[in-house]
């Protein structure tokens, strides 16, 4: 457990001091950070993860501070290229602190594999025949992954659905698999492939697709937090946040951006820990459709005391084993920083980060607008893309903020002026 997730002046520290501060609150050695140095994962390591590799692509890796989850202080590792995301999560976590931080929970980590059966003459009867023999099918699936069964996972159920498509009625067999600390895609795909012949024979048809569904709606994680009225800025801010939320709940155009804000937090933790961002994102898209309409993934209300309460429930299929989680050194370091011991713990941290990010974005939108906070980093970005040195960048950023002119041509002209020794 982190001694505290509040680290004074963390944002203003140089990188090596930040490393020491994180190591101190975790009670660990600063050596942990050798895993996140640029030479810890080279092209040869990368070639074990992907194909046609000629290099590696680095991203900022940081921690969000101020988080308390279920009464315990934690540091939340986040990898993102987007300015303001980590600061916003930390700020929202600070606003949740007076009321106890984030409360989280989750279902068992159940993923589903689908087997599509085609050319079935009697789909209804085939469904019943498959259900009659489910114990045999489940045993066969479990035989594929003794390790998973040994750690308490394995197939927990079997369902058969009939899906009316344009030209046929497909029989879909779902294996419901508790994947424990894995994300589980490979594990359930292997099972689906292994049982497909038997299932097709029972159905008297042919098996075609055998793959997991990313609509991981049996693997949900939930977060809830009460955001302090005074720290938020008072009743009017809360009322405006509620208007912003209600628009997202009612309007898909707004909901897409509202949910993108949630995913800023979610994907950053998923990526930092070496997990599959696309799998979590696909699960989020499918979960955001309620009664056929795309809507907000989160909810916001005012509680009886007039504070703002936010909730977020969504599929978070992430693991501590498999994929890049154990192979990528930065992911290993991030998991150590997160101090999670099960995939469910990690999923709950991810969903708390999503809720924090969501609240932070709503608060800014409902008050000053997003551009102000972005300006100084945006100015830094512009200066960097013009090739400014650190010293030149400081001068350029100050000048752009002063002039409120965040344009590349202006950066270029200030840079030219600095380099020619002139002033204007």
Does residue 181 interact with ligand NAD by CB under 6 A? yes
> Quick one: which of 70, 20, 49 has its CA closest to 339?
70
- If DSSP codes are grouped into helix, strand and coil, which group holds residue 343? helix
Does residue 194 interact with ligand NAD by CB under 6 A? no
- Distance separating alpha carbons of residues 424 and 415, to the nearest angstrom: 12
Rounded to a whole number of angstroms, the minimum distance from the CB of residue 339 to ligand NAD is 17
Q: Which stretch binds ligand NAD (CB under 6 A): 184-192, 292-300, 332-340, 406-414?
A: 184-192
Site string for ligand NAD, 274-293 (x = CB under 6 A): --x--x--------------
Tell me whether residue 171 or residue 185 sits nearer to ligand NAD (CB atom): 185
Rounded to a whole number of angstroms, the minimum distance from the CB of residue 274 to ligand NAD is 9
Does residue 148 interact with ligand NAD by CB under 6 A? yes
**Tokens standing for residue 128:** 């019943």
Does residue 178 interact with ligand NAD by CB under 6 A? no
CA pseudo-torsion sign 366, 372, 373, 377: positive
CB atoms within 10 A of CB 340: 22
36, 68, 145, 226: which one contacts ligand NAD (CB under 6 A)?
Answer: 145
Tell me whether residue 183 or residue 232 sits nearer to ligand NAD (CB atom): 183
Rounded to a whole number of angstroms, the minimum distance from the CB of residue 183 to ligand NAD is 4
Q: What's the Rg (C-alpha) of the chain?
A: 25
**Tokens standing for residue 328:** 């990528």
Tell me whether residue 36 or residue 331 sits nearer to ligand NAD (CB atom): 331
Does residue 315 interact with ligand NAD by CB under 6 A? no
Does residue 156 interact with ligand NAD by CB under 6 A? no
Q: CA torsion 348→353→359→362, rounded to 10°?
A: -130
Q: Which stretch binds ligand NAD (CB under 6 A): 10-18, 174-182, 196-204, 224-232?
A: 174-182
**Tokens standing for residue 210:** 């055998």
Active-site amino acid positions:
82, 260, 276, 374
Tell me whether residue 64 or residue 220 sits nearer to ligand NAD (CB atom): 220
Q: Which stretch binds ligand NAD (CB under 6 A): 37-45, 248-256, 320-328, 362-370?
A: 320-328
Does residue 183 interact with ligand NAD by CB under 6 A? yes
Write the Ramachandran bin of 234: left for phi over 0, alpha for psi from -120 to 50, otherwise beta.
Answer: left
Site string for ligand NAD, 39-68 (x = CB under 6 A): ------------------------------
89, 212, 268, 355: which one contacts ligand NAD (CB under 6 A)?
Answer: 212
- Give me the DSSP letters along 2-61: -S-S--TTGGGS-HHHHHHHHHHHHT--GGGGGGGSTTSS-HHHHTTTSSS--------E
Does residue 158 interact with ligand NAD by CB under 6 A? no
Tell me whether residue 194 or residue 418 sits nearer to ligand NAD (CB atom): 194
Rounded to a whole number of angstroms, the minimum distance from the CB of residue 56 to ligand NAD is 17
151, 176, 309, 384: which one contacts ligand NAD (CB under 6 A)?
Answer: 151
Does residue 180 interact with ligand NAD by CB under 6 A? yes
Does residue 214 interact with ligand NAD by CB under 6 A? yes
Q: Is 213 exposed, middle or buried (0-12, 13-18, 19+ CB in 10 A)?
A: middle
Does residue 149 interact with ligand NAD by CB under 6 A? no
Please, what is the Cα angle at 248 between 259 and 287, to 5 degrees? 50
Beta strands in 281-375 (DSSP E): 289-290, 293-294, 298-302, 308-315
Tell me whether residue 212 or residue 411 sits nearer to ligand NAD (CB atom): 212
* Those residues with Cβ within 8 angstroms of residue 407's Cβ, 6 or more apart along the chain or in another chain: 382
Tell me whether residue 310 or residue 322 sits nearer to ligand NAD (CB atom): 322
Does residue 186 interact with ligand NAD by CB under 6 A? yes
* Those residues with Cβ within 8 angstroms of residue 360's Cβ, 6 or more apart along the chain or in another chain: 88, 89, 91, 92, 261
Residues 383 and 392: beta-carbon distance below 8 Å: yes
* Those residues with Cβ within 8 angstroms of residue 313's Cβ, 6 or more apart along the chain or in another chain: 220, 221, 222, 223, 297, 351
Strand partners, 164: 169
Does residue 147 interact with ligand NAD by CB under 6 A? yes
The size of the interface with ligand NAD (CB under 6 A), counted in residues, is 23
Residues 74 and 2: beta-carbon distance below 8 Å: yes
69, 185, 244, 333: which one contacts ligand NAD (CB under 6 A)?
Answer: 185
Rule CB under 6 A: which residues touch ligand NAD? 145, 147-148, 151, 153, 179-187, 189, 212, 214, 276, 279, 319, 321-323
């Amino acid at each position: 457990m982190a001694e505290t997730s509040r680290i004074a002046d963390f944002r203003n520290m140089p990188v090596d001091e930040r490393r020491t501060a994180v190591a101190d609150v975790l009670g660990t050695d600063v050596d942990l950070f050798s895993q996140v140095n640029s030479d810890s994962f080279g092209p040869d390591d990368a070639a074990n993860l992907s194909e046609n590799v000629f290099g590696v692509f680095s991203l900022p890796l940081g921690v969000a501070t101020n988080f308390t989850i279920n009464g315990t202080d934690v540091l939340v590792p986040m990898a993102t290229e987007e300015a303001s995301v980590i600061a916003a999560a930390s700020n929202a976590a600070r606003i949740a602190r007076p009321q106890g931080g984030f409360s989280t929970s989750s279902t068992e980590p159940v993923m589903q594999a689908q087997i599509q059966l085609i050319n079935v003459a009697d789909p209804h009867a085939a469904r019943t025949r498959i259900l009659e023999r489910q114990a045999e099918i489940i045993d066969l699936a479990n035989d594929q992954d003794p390790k998973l069964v040994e750690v308490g996972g394995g197939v927990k159920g079997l369902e058969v659905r009939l899906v009316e498509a344009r030209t046929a009625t497909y029989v879909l067999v779902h294996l419901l698999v508790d994947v424990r600390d894995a994300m589980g895609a490979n594990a359930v795909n292997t099972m689906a492939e292994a049982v497909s012949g038997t299932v097709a024979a029972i159905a008297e048809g042919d098996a075609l697709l055998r793959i997991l569904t990313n609509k991981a709606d049996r693997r949900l994680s939930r977060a809830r937090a009460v955001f302090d009225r005074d720290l938020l800025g008072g009743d009017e801010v809360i009322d405006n946040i509620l208007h912003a939320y209600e628009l997202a709940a009612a309007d898909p155009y707004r909901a897409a951006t509202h949910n993108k804000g949630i995913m800023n937090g979610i994907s950053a933790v998923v990526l930092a820990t070496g997990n599959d961002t696309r799998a979590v994102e696909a699960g989020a898209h499918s979960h955001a459709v309620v009664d056929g309409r795309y809507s907000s993934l989160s909810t916001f209300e005012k509680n009886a005391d007039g504070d703002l309460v936010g909730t977020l429930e969504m599929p978070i299929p992430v693991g501590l084993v498999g994929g890049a989680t154990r192979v990528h050194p930065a992911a290993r370091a991030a998991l150590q920083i997160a101090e999670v011991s099960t995939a469910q713990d990690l999923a709950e941290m991810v969903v708390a980060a999503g809720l924090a990010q969501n609240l932070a974005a709503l608060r800014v939108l409902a008050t000053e607008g997003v551009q102000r906070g972005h300006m100084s980093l945006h100015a830094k970005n512009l200066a960097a893309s013009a090739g400014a040195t650190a010293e030149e960048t400081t001068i350029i950023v100050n000048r752009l903020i002063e002039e409120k002119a965040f344009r590349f041509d202006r950066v270029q002209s200030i840079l030219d002026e600095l380099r020619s020794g002139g002033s204007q």
